[in-house]
Amino acid sequence: MQQPEGYEEGPTGTVARLLYALYGCKQAGRLWGNHCHGTLTAIGAVRLTADPTTYVWQHPVHGPIVILVHVDDMAVTAKTLAGVSVAKEVVLSAYEGRDLGASNTFLGMRVDRDRAAGTLKLSCPGVTAALLEQFGMGAARPNKLPMAVKTTLMRTGEHLLEDSTRYSELVGSLLYLATTTRPDIAYAAGVLARYMNKPEEQHWMAAKGVLCYLSGTANYGLCYGPAEELVGAVDADLGGCPETRRSTTGWVFTWNGAALSWGSKRQATASSSTAEAEYVAAAAATREALWVRKLMVDLGQPATTVNMAEDNQACLSLIANPETTGKAKHIDIAHHLVRERVAMGEVTFTYTPGSEVLADGLTKALPGPAFNSFRSRLGVGTTEAPTPEDDPAE
């Protein structure tokens, strides 16, 4: 870094100490975060323990006001527009910024609201369109599925891509979509992410297949509707990875008609039975359930028991009966937290037939009818909704 013109001081080679956290410096983000935290807590806002980027301000007149901070972007929501205005006035009095009005987009996500119908939709059509254009797939023939049933990807060491950068860029973008508004491609994106190092032609073709699916569903997004209780589902395949024989964990939590939190991830160790794979998956889902439950309590929702669907009776037996440890004594102790939390009444597991477990589509590629049902139950749809200018959720 060179001293700016007009501020050169000292002989050549002199080291200047930087007293201002310029954008791009290692500590700039942390210093900004500390300053912003001080500003918000000074007015009485409290940082949530479940999410350090979210603050709740219990205003004496306007009630709870929620402020979400992402670097230097903020989203504010309150029960009334006046409450939103009060929060914006406080922020803009402390920092130079712009009031963008009712949020139409946030972090690449499009926000559509219909107050009359009581619905809210989150989607990423702009990101999807840009991705299709970037990889020349805008006119591609749409696929009905993100990944064909019984697709088997492996490392053969043959037909390596000359330049793996484009593959990494594509899979990274797919992972962004899969973790924001498109849980229907979460399994496919997770599988493709296993081959970021030395990808082959087969992996590239599979990634382009996901793009073909997105080309026909670019406007799809999560559609939240009237109030419904928080419920979860967890599933696992046994040895689904052909190379490591490790299983894949899939879990999803839905609230108000759409997915709120989800995940599809290969397990860290190989399991010796379906019951063990399901038990390890149940432990992972329990950890997420505890976080979701805590976040909702911090936001003023009642602390209820989170019910999760599970399709393996042997797994349910392991959860309910600690006396069966003889069959599970080799399982890492970290996975046994599920028993403790069930005993505490924070989560509960209910047997559900495999085809009805929502998380099934996060552990394997499903055929057409089953995938369409899976996508619909996730709350992923194309419902368009207007965004009124006087909407208080900003």
> What pLDDT digit, counting tens, does each position of 258-310 carry?
999 999 999 999 998 999 999 999 999 999 999 999 999 999 888 899 999 99
Q: Has residue 164 got a pLDDT over 70?
A: yes
Average pLDDT over residues 9-28: 76
The residue among 81, 99, 117 that closes a domain is 99
Question: Is 84 a member of any domain?
Answer: yes
Question: Is 124 a member of any domain?
Answer: no
Contact 319, 325 (CB under 8 A): no
Read off the pLDDT band of 391 (50, 70, 90).
very low
CATH number at residue 281: 3.30.420.10
The whole domain housing 65 covers: 28-99
Q: How many CA atoms lie within 13 A of 54 on its CB side?
A: 14
Q: Say what percent of the chain tops pLDDT 90.
A: 73
- The pLDDT, as a whole number, for residue 387 is 45
**What type of residue is 89?**
E
Question: Is 5 a member of any domain?
Answer: no
- The pLDDT, as a whole number, for residue 325 is 57
d(CA 204, CA 161): 8
Task: Out of 70-79, 84-93, 285-294, 375-384, pick the least confident.
Answer: 375-384
Average pLDDT over residues 313-328: 78
The structural domain count of the chain equals 2
Bigger pLDDT: 361 or 2? 361
Question: Is 6 a member of any domain?
Answer: no
Q: Please give the mean pLDDT across all residues of the chain.
A: 90
- The pLDDT, as a whole number, for residue 334 is 73
Read off the pLDDT band of 1 (50, 70, 90).
low
Cα dihedral 283, 286, 290, 293, rounded to 10, equals 170
Average pLDDT over residues 7-24: 74
Q: Has residue 186 got a pLDDT over 80?
A: yes
Question: Is 91 a member of any domain?
Answer: yes
Bigger pLDDT: 324 or 2? 2
| Among 255, 358, 265, CA closest to 306 | 255
Read off the pLDDT band of 135 (50, 70, 90).
very high
- The pLDDT, as a whole number, for residue 270 is 92
- The pLDDT, as a whole number, for residue 388 is 45
Residue with tokens 């099934």: 360
Question: Is 277 a member of any domain?
Answer: yes
Average pLDDT over residues 314-318: 91
Question: Is 192 a member of any domain?
Answer: no
Question: Is 137 a member of any domain?
Answer: no
**What type of residue is 346?**
E
Average pLDDT over residues 154-173: 94
- The pLDDT, as a whole number, for residue 324 is 58
- The pLDDT, as a whole number, for residue 338 is 92
Bigger pLDDT: 245 or 329? 245
Read off the pLDDT band of 326 (50, 70, 90).
low
Cα Rg of the chain (Å, integer): 24
